[in-house]
Amino acid sequence: MVPGAIDGLQEVDYLTSDDALKLEAVPDEFVIVGGGYIAAELGYYFGSFGSDVTVIEAEDTLVPREDGDVAAAFTEIAGGRHDVYTGYRASAVTESAGEITVTAEAEDGTEVEVAGEELLVALGRRPNTEGIDLDATGVATNDAGFIETDEQLRTNVEGVWAMGDVADNGMYKHSGDYEGEIVIENVAHDGSREADFTALPHAVFTEPQIGAVGKTEAQLDEEGREYVVGRAEFTDTAMSRALKLDEGFAKVLADPETREILGCHIIGHEASMLVHEVTPAMRYGATVDGLANTLIHVHPAMSKVVMKACKDVS
C-alpha cells in the first residue's frame, strides 16, 4: 500500500517488500518508511548483511499492532542496531545523484531528514481486488475492498470461493495455507468444512523473534473486559541462562474469573515456536491454571518461560 500523502514519492525509485527481496546488491544505506512487521523483518534482514538501516514510523513504537510491552521492548532492541525515528510521519521524498532523502515530521513540528541508497515503503498491504473487474462477477466486497465470504469461504456468487489476502481472514501465509485446505475440500470433494480462526497465531521473524496469539491489553481495554496479567522473563529459565540469553519475556492475559486464556505475547529466542504452547490451549479451552499446574514441562526446555508466566497469573 503506497500512500499519496508523501510528496514526491511517485517521482522516486522506491521499493516495495517484493522489490527489496529481489535486490542483487546490498545497499550501504537502507531507509524504511513504516514500522510494522514487514519493516521489522526486512530491516533486520538488510542490517544483518551490513546495511545501515533507518526506520521511520508514525506511531510511538515499532510493530505497533503488537502488545504494548512487546512493542516497546522490540523498539528499544531495534534502536540498538538501527536509527529509529518513532512518532515521525514521512512527508516528502526527493532523489538526487543516486541518493533518496526522506523528510519526516513529528506532531510538534520537529523535522528530520534521512538519506539512503534505497528506500523501502512498508506501510501495509491491501487486497489486490482492484482492476480485476469484480463488478462484472457480482462478487461482493466490503468497504476496504476485501471479498466477503461465509464460514465455508464461499462468496455470495454460486460456485465462487475466496481465500488468502483478498478474503481478510488474516493476511498471513499460514492462514492462507489453512484456507486453501478448506477450499480444496469444499470445492474438489464437495465438502462442507467451515473455517475456524479461533486463536490464530502470528510471528515476527527478527532477532529476537515475536510470537503472539489472542488479544492484546489495548484490545481488551477497548472492549472493557477485565483481565489479569502474568509475566516471566526468559532469564527466569535455566535454558535461557545456559544459552546466555539476556532479553525476552512471555506475557499471558487471562480472565480473572473463568481463567480462560485471552492472549499470549512473547518476545525472545524462538518465540514463534513457544507461542504454539498456548495456541492449542486457547483453541480448545484450557485454562491458564491448566498450563501452569497440570501440564508437566520438560526441564530445562525454553517453554518453561510460558509455564512461569501462567504461574505468575495464578
Residues taking part in catalysis:
299
Buried b (16+ CB within 10 A) or exposed e, 154-185: bbeeeeebbbbbbbbbbbbeebbebbeebbee
List the Cα angle 124/173/10 in 5-degree steps.
25
Give bridge partners of residue 211 from the DSSP assignment.
203, 266
Using an 8 Å Cβ cutoff, are 15 and 118 in contact? yes
How far, in Å, are 9, 215, 218, 230 from residue 222 at the CA level?
35, 11, 6, 20
Output phi, psi for 103, to 5 deg.
-100, 130
SS3 (DSSP) at 6 = coil
In this structure, the strands spanning 228-233 and 99-106 are unpaired
For the four alpha carbons of 30, 35, 40 and 41, in that order, the dihedral sign comes to negative
**The C-alpha cell that represents 98 in the structure block:** 543516486
In this structure, the strands spanning 88-96 and 99-106 are antiparallel
**The C-alpha cell that represents 281 in the structure block:** 490451549
- Residues ≥6 apart with Cβ < 8 Å to 75: 61, 62, 63, 84, 86
DSSP string, 43-73: HHHHHHTT-EEEEEESSSSSSTTS-HHHHHH
SS3 (DSSP) at 222 = helix
Report how far residue 112's alpha carbon sits from residue 102's, in angstroms, rounded to the nearest whole number: 8
H/E segment holding residue 181 = helix 173-188
